[in-house]
Amino acid sequence: MIAWCASTSGLPRRPGPGYRCGVRATSLSAGAVLAVASAVTIVAAPPASATTPPPVTTGPPVTTAPPATTAPPATTVPVPTTRTPQAPPSPLAPPNPRRSWAGRLLVVATARANPGPGGRPLRLLQPIAPLGAGPVWLQVKGVKVVAGRRWVKVLMPVRPNGSAGWIRASSMRFHPIAVRINIDVSARTLTLVRDGRRVRAFEVAVGTPANPTPTGRFAVAEVIPTGDPTAFLGPVVMPLTAFSDTLNEFAGGNGRVAIHGTSLPELIGQAVSHGCVRMRNADVRWLAHRVPGGTPVIIRA
């Protein structure tokens, strides 16, 4: 890089006042540069004072637009919502070959034709058993949640046989049952089944052809000790949710069918009762210690 200056005489000189200087990139030697410089006509720049800057033209004033006004964001008002309460999980379920559920009635409850408070009322169920004055245990046949509340369908101890109604689950206390009773009328046997397996079978007496033992799916409604092992009904009576199909009244009762003992053990194995299922006293005691209220009872012809 070489710096050079030109005067009005055309000779190269060092930079000074009144000279216009430039910079030129080259790879030539100093002698060659001088030769080229003497052959080139260099025009001196006019004095700086002679140069008049052009006038500045002032245009019309520039108007700055005001910033755009941004509307504040709309305030979102939360809309109140009514959440339907959810019933907590429950293992309650209809009976199956291995397990069923029973509920003890804690308060007077209205049984309804359909689950929910709008269901047609069927009857009032009392928490005190009518025969033994003990607790009432009802077999659970179905479960449904309506508007966040659990309802259970229970087998009722009323006519006609198989009557069921829906009540609030909150009016009951539940427990599972792993046993059931199978009664074969023609074979005149009663069999206790636990967890789907046969535990023990007993010979029993059943109803006469004129007053047969009703068939169907029922449940043990009560377990009542009589306090008298020599009584006609023996030491224990277990009323069912079943009623006689032929008798509306018997011995002052309403034709309720039961499993009970007997003072006539020689008649066991025969069709001699008015519809009840008779057992030997030792057998009915053994059974009563193993079947709670609400135990399913299946009677086949």
Spans of all domains in the chain: 2-47, 100-177, 179-300
pLDDT of residue 82: 57
pLDDT of residue 247: 92
pLDDT of residue 261: 98
| Secondary element (H or E) of residue 12 | strand 12-13
pLDDT of residue 69: 55
| Secondary element (H or E) of residue 39 | helix 30-39
Q: For residues 165 and 112, is the Cβ–Cβ distance under 8 A?
A: yes
∠ CA(46), CA(50), CA(53), 5° rounding? 110
- State the catalytic residue, choosing from 175, 260, 274, 289: 260
Kindly report the CATH number that applies to the domain delimited by 179-300. Answer: 2.40.440.10
Query: CA–CA separation, 21 vs 142, rounded Å?
Result: 110
DSSP assignment string, 175-225: EEE-EEEEEETTTTEEEEEETTEEEEEEE-BEE-SSSPPP-EEEEB---EE
Q: One-letter amino acid identity for 104?
A: R
Q: Is 260 a catalytic residue?
A: yes
Q: For residues 241 and 155, is the Cβ–Cβ distance under 8 A?
A: yes
pLDDT of residue 151: 98
Of the CATH numbers 3.40.50.410, 2.30.30.40, 1.10.540.10, 1.10.3720.10, which one belongs to the domain with range 100-177?
2.30.30.40
- State the catalytic residue, choosing from 5, 274, 276, 289: 276
- Could you say which residues of the chain have pLDDT below 50? 1-51, 53, 56-58, 62
pLDDT of residue 51: 47
Instruction: Please state the pTM of the whole predicted model.
Output: 0.71
Q: Is 21 a catalytic residue?
A: no
Answer yes or no: same fold for 100-177 and 179-300.
no
Q: One-letter amino acid identity for 22?
A: G
